[in-house]
Amino acid sequence: MAYAMDIMMQLKSLLIFGFAAAGLAVAALSLPASADDGRGRGRGRGDDRGYERSEMMRAHPRRYEQDAARRAMLDGDVMPFSIIKRRVGREMDGANYLGSEFDDRRGEYRLKYMRDGRVVWVDVDGRSGDIVRRSR
């Protein structure tokens, strides 16, 4: 009986070791291949901004625009959109707000309004909140 218990203990140890090794192997294989460039620096998203920007814009232009506006706001490069929209809305007396765009290269918002059946575009400097251009 003692011999059977020794064998069971050895099998149990081998199974535990095997599962632990399998878990480590799965964890290692699930890491991205480009996580490290060999110099201790990660190469994740954002290291090649030109490539990322163009690919993201082609695939999801509206999503990229929203992400770019949020990043710029979190970095302190532009004011929050809600504040800009409120400021411009006060000056548009009665015009209906239709939507907006964000130009991350210039740091400008473009707000679209409808007044008397005509579309009015208002370009706003994201840093200061000042109106830069207005089309009528």
pLDDT on residue 34 = 47
pLDDT on residue 118 = 93
pLDDT on residue 36 = 43
pTM: predicted TM-score of the whole model, two decimal places:
0.52
On the question of pLDDT at 5 being above 70, the answer is no
CA-closest candidate to residue 111, choices 73, 68, 119? 119
On the question of pLDDT at 19 being above 60, the answer is yes
What is the rounded CA–CA span in Å between residue 44 and residue 36? 8
Q: Retrieve residue 55's tokens.
A: 């690919």
- 89-102 pLDDT, tens digit per residue, is 999 988 999 999 98
Q: How confident is the model at residue 114 (pLDDT cuts 50, 70, 90)?
A: very high
What is the rounded CA–CA span in Å between residue 99 and residue 97? 6
On the question of pLDDT at 112 being above 90, the answer is yes
More confidently predicted of 27 and 122: 122
Q: Cβ distance 93 to 101 under 8 Å?
A: no
- 20-61 pLDDT, tens digit per residue, is 666 666 666 665 554 444 444 444 444 445 556 556 556 555
Q: Cβ distance 78 to 72 under 8 Å?
A: yes
More confidently predicted of 46 and 123: 123
pLDDT on residue 97 = 95
CATH numbers and ranges of domains, the chain: 47-136 (3.10.450)
Q: How many Cα atoms are found within 13 Å in the side-chain-facing hemisphere of 82?
A: 0
